[in-house]
Amino acid sequence: MKQEYKAGELIRITSRNTKLQPHVKLGDIYAVESTDTTGKGATVLVVHNAKMKYGTMRINSQRFGWEHVTMQQLKAEKKEAQFKQAVKTDVQRILEAFTVQEHMEITFVPLVLNEIAWELARKAMELAARDRVSDLRKLNRVLKELRQYYERTVCKDLLPSDFDRLHRQSMQFMQEHAYNFQILYYTASNVFSKQYHSQPFEEMRVNALLAMLIIRYTDEHNKRCDKMLEQRLGKITAAKRMPAMDSLYTGMEAFAGELPEPFNFADNNLQMCMGILRNTLKQSEWIITREPNE
Query: Do 170 and 277 fall into the same domain?
Result: yes
Query: Do 105 and 169 fall into the same domain?
Result: yes
Q: How is 136-197 classified by DSSP, letter by letter?
A: GHHHHHHHHHHHHHHHHHHTTTS-HHHHHHHHHHHHHHHHHTHHHHHHHHHHHHHHHHHHHS
Query: Computed over its alpha carbons, how large is the radius of gyration of the chain?
Result: 29
148 within some domain: yes
Instruction: Read off the pTM.
Output: 0.69
3 within some domain: no
Name residues whose C-beta falls within 8 Å of residue 78's C-beta, 6 or more positions apart in sequence.
Answer: none
How many structural domains compose the chain? 2
Which of 27, 43, 69 is the last residue before a domain boundary?
69
Query: Do 235 and 180 fall into the same domain?
Result: yes
Q: Other CB atoms closer than 10 Å to residue 246's CB: what's the count? A: 13
Q: Which uninterrupted H or E stretch holds 256?
A: helix 243-256
272 within some domain: yes
Which of 37, 69, 101 is the last residue before a domain boundary?
69
Query: Do 237 and 173 fall into the same domain?
Result: yes
Query: Do 16 and 127 fall into the same domain?
Result: no
**Contact status, residue 3 vs residue 68, Cβ threshold 8 Å:** yes
- Cα 56 to its chain centre, rounded Å, is 48
Domain housing 131 = 86-283
Query: Do 110 and 52 fall into the same domain?
Result: no
81 within some domain: no
Query: Do 257 and 125 fall into the same domain?
Result: yes
Which of 18, 42, 69 is the last residue before a domain boundary?
69
Residue 229's nearest CA partner among 113, 95, 87 is 95
Query: Do 133 and 234 fall into the same domain?
Result: yes
Distance CA(122)–CA(125), nearest Å, equals 5
Q: Which uninterrupted H or E stretch holds 37?
A: strand 29-37
Query: Do 41 and 141 fall into the same domain?
Result: no
- Residue pLDDT tens, the chain, 294 long: 456 777 778 888 888 888 888 888 888 888 888 888 887 777 888 888 766 666 788 888 888 888 888 888 888 888 877 777 776 776 677 777 778 788 888 888 999 999 999 999 999 999 999 999 989 999 999 999 999 999 999 998 888 999 999 999 999 999 999 999 999 999 999 999 999 988 889 999 999 999 999 999 999 999 999 898 888 878 777 888 899 999 999 999 999 998 889 999 999 999 999 999 999 998 888 776 555 454
